[in-house]
Amino acid sequence: DAMVIQNPRYQVTQFGKPVTLSCSQTLNHNVMYWYQQKSSQAPKLLFHYYDKDFNNEADTPDNFQSRRPNTSFCFLDIRSPGLGDAAMYLCATSRESSGANVLTFGAGSRLTVL
Amino acid sequence: GQNIDQPTEMTATEGAIVQINCTYQTSGFNGLFWYQQHAGEAPTFLSYNVLDGLEEKGRFSSFLSRSKGYSYLLLKELQMKDSASYLCAVMDSNYQLIWGAGTKLIIKP
């Protein structure tokens, strides 16, 4: 029944060791988003895709990369995680990018950096 | 700059009513959303307002005043499971979602 699935739910990595987080959706939504959320803070948009069109937020560090090989899947790569990258990473989807743009979130991937 | 303000934390009693306020200053306005987020979980959609007034959905209602840049989420007949953070988000003129940091609601028996 799950509609937006993120893996892994929990990821522990060492400082500087690359990490890939995955997201898949069964909703056939056009738009996919990656958010970073730290404790008691607002979600921070890192990237979003409208279909295959990639949109990088201006303040997203180069350390973060993303891929969307097809409509259903999206990946977040953190090339050299630092201690400041420890956070919950949320994938979300929406049918469109305007109007009553309700986001459906996955359960999140919690990243710990040692 | 764009800004969403919400109280950091609120406490209420089971069975009571609580109102969570949100004020915003954004470049344009294309709707306001409320999401509920339980600790360690993903946000889930609660309500959407684009016109002034009150939208009621069961125990939850959301109000919007565009001229005042103000919204509130009203929760009635509070239950322990309503303990969560409540996030206010505004869609600006570029259809970008601007998020508040959330209000942590603590329900006491």
Q: Chain-wide mean pLDDT for chain B?
A: 95
Question: Which residues on chain B are in Cβ contact (under 8 Å) with A43?
Answer: 43, 87, 99
pLDDT of A66 reads 95
Residue B64: phi and psi, rounded to 5, are -135, 135
H-helix or E-strand spanning residue A82: none
The torsion region of residue A26 among left (phi > 0), alpha (psi -120 to 50) and beta comes to alpha
Would you state the pLDDT for residue A31? Answer: 94
Query: For chain A, where are the E strands, in sequence order?
Result: 4-7, 10-13, 19-25, 31-37, 44-50, 53-56, 64-67, 73-78, 87-94, 104-105, 109-113
What are the chain B neighbours of A100 within 8 Å (beta carbons)? 31, 48, 50
Distance CA A75, CA A71 (A): 12
Beta-carbon separation of B48 and A100 below 8 A: yes
Q: What is the pLDDT along chain A (114 residues), one digit of tens a residue?
A: 669 999 999 999 999 999 999 999 999 999 999 999 998 899 999 999 998 888 888 889 999 999 999 999 999 999 999 999 999 999 999 988 777 889 999 999 999 999
The pLDDT score that the predictor gives to residue B31 is 95
Q: Is A5 on the interface with B (CB under 8 A)?
A: no
A81 touches chain B (CB under 8 A): no
Residues of chain B with pLDDT under 70: none
Please name the residues in contact with A22: beta carbons below 8 A apart, sequence gap of 6 or more. A6, A7, A73, A74, A75, A76
DSSP helix/strand/coil, A94: strand
Given this model, what pLDDT does residue A2 score?
A: 62
What does the block give as tokens for B66? 């565009």
Length of chain A: 114
